[in-house]
Amino acid sequence: MQSQVSPSGGDNNGIVMNMVMMLIQNQQAEIRELKESVHSIVNKQQQTSTLDSIWSANDRIRIKANLDTNPLKSEIQLKPAFKGGKPSEYLSGATVIDHMNQVFGFNGWNTEYFQEDKNIIGRPDENGGNFRVSVTVNCKVVLIDGSFHVDTGTGIGQMGDLHQAMDTAKKSAYTDSMKRACRKFGKYLGLALYVSGSARSTAYSNQAERDQVVEAKAQQGRDILAVSEQQQNAMDTARPSSSGGLGGVGMGGNENRSRRVRTLANVKSESDAFPNADPNPTPISALQNPSTVPQAPASGIKRTGPPSNPYGQGGVSNPYGHQASKKGRT
């Protein structure tokens, strides 16, 4: 007699294969997400380590103290009043560059210029024989750690020659945009000039006086950092450990581990550790042979028949609701 296969067997195999493929795809998706998470964490750690290698905590404190302190009075220049107004205070481009090098280092910052716009706003026949040119440009001042500020500057050039007028306006615009972007970093780079009142009245007369103020601010920052580190160390010491040792999961901390050691030290035998255990347990070899398993006592539950089959007469569970395929016998 030839073997016969139930038509439902192929359908069952297809369902099983689909389920297996779905599980594999889900696992692959989880692995991809895990890899992305790991890469993200590694990249953040590398960025943090890079920043730490550029400027230490004390360096950042020194930089902040320097930026938060006004410049010298001799560095603040006055621009003549325009049409009856008040003279305006400003820092020259060379002074701002020198301050940037002092604070961040000669190789600690860079400038990027973009969106330059040129316009001729006056011609010789209407401007006393001179060209009048306006140039506008954006400047991005980038520090070595990636932080930056952006601002716009404008320059005016007025010359008899158009190229000279354009060159003058362009230099003025580039310097102005650089200074306006740098001032956003702090008072030392020009922000003090935008505070109400005269910056010269609050500026320092000499470098020694300013250095004392900068050092006092830096020391205050170092004190705050020391207190923060002490608090963090205290929190790390007081935080219970959740790994390793006799404590295991949920038994963190030295006190819990010591209590666990004392408990184990008081256990002298298995009867102390398990007082309610059966003194004559059934050996494993007997459990492998059902005929040798001890019968329940008379007061216990008695078995009156063969064990019930939760899956029906076939004796085998079929989760798909079809009769399992069988091969014919010859």
CB 213 within 8 A of CB 202: no
Q: Is residue 197 domain-shared with residue 85, that is, in the same domain?
A: yes
DSSP secondary structure, 132-185, as one string: EEEEEEEEEEEETTS-EEEEEEEEEEEESSHHHHHHHHHHHHHHHHHHHHHGGG
Nearest of 301, 274, 67 to residue 188 by alpha carbon: 67
The pLDDT assigned to 200 comes to 80
Regions of the chain short of the pLDDT cut 70: 1-11, 42-53, 196-197, 240-330
Helices (H), the chain: 8-54, 57-67, 93-104, 162-182, 199-202, 207-238, 254-265, 270-273, 284-287
Is residue 3 within 8 Å of residue 327, measured between CB atoms? yes
pTM, two decimals, is 0.57
Q: Distance from CA of residue 320 to its chain's centroid?
A: 49
The answer to whether 149 and 184 have CB atoms below 8 angstroms apart is yes
In a domain, residue 28? The reply is yes
| Residue 124, token pair as written in the block | 């010789």
Map tokens 């297996």 to a residue. Answer: 20
Whether 45 and 85 share a structural domain: no
**Same-domain status, 121 and 197:** yes
83 and 13 share one domain = no
Tell me, yes or no, whether 42 lies in a domain. yes
Q: Could you say which of 188, 203, 218 is where a domain stops? A: 203
Closest CA to 65 of 228, 226, 212: 212
Q: What's the CATH code of the domain at 173?
A: 3.30.390.80
**Which pLDDT score, from 0 to 100, does residue 277 have?**
54
Pair 44, 76 in one domain: no
pLDDT given for residue 30 in this prediction: 85
Query: What pLDDT is attached to residue 326?
Result: 45
Is residue 166 included in any domain, yes or no? yes
Burial letters 64-89, b for 16+ CB under 10 A, else e:
ebbbbbbbbeebbeeeeeeeeeeeeb
Is residue 1 assigned to a domain? no
Q: Where a domain ends, among 172, 203, 234? A: 203
Going by C-alpha positions, the residue among 61, 77, 66, 95 that lies closest to residue 188 is 66
26 part of a folded domain: yes
Q: Which domain holds residue 45?
A: 9-54
- The predicted-structure confidence for 64-118, as pLDDT tens digits, reads as follows 999 999 999 999 998 887 777 788 899 999 999 999 999 999 999 999 999 999 9
Instruction: Give how many domains the chain has, as a whole number.
Output: 2
Same domain membership, residue 168 and residue 79 = yes
Looking at the domain assignment, is residue 128 inside a domain? yes
Q: Give the residue from 203, 238, 253 where a domain finishes.
A: 203
**Residue 81 and residue 162 in one domain:** yes
pLDDT given for residue 9 in this prediction: 55
| Residue 24 and residue 107 in one domain | no
Q: Are residues 89 and 188 in the same domain?
A: yes
Token digits for 207?
């470098």
In the sheet that holds 148-159, the strands lie side by side as 109-122, 131-143, 148-159
In a domain, 282, yes or no: no
Both 50 and 75 in a single domain? no
Q: Are residues 26 and 77 in the same domain?
A: no
Ramachandran angles phi, psi of 17, nearest 5° = -65, -40
Whether 7 and 324 have beta carbons less than 8 Å apart is answered as: no
Q: Could you tell me if residue 292 is inside a domain?
A: no
Which DSSP letter does residue 18 get?
H
Nearest CA to 70 among 153, 194, 181, 175? 194
23 and 138 housed in the same domain? no
180: how many CB neighbours lie within 10 A of its CB? 20
CB 194 within 8 A of CB 183: yes
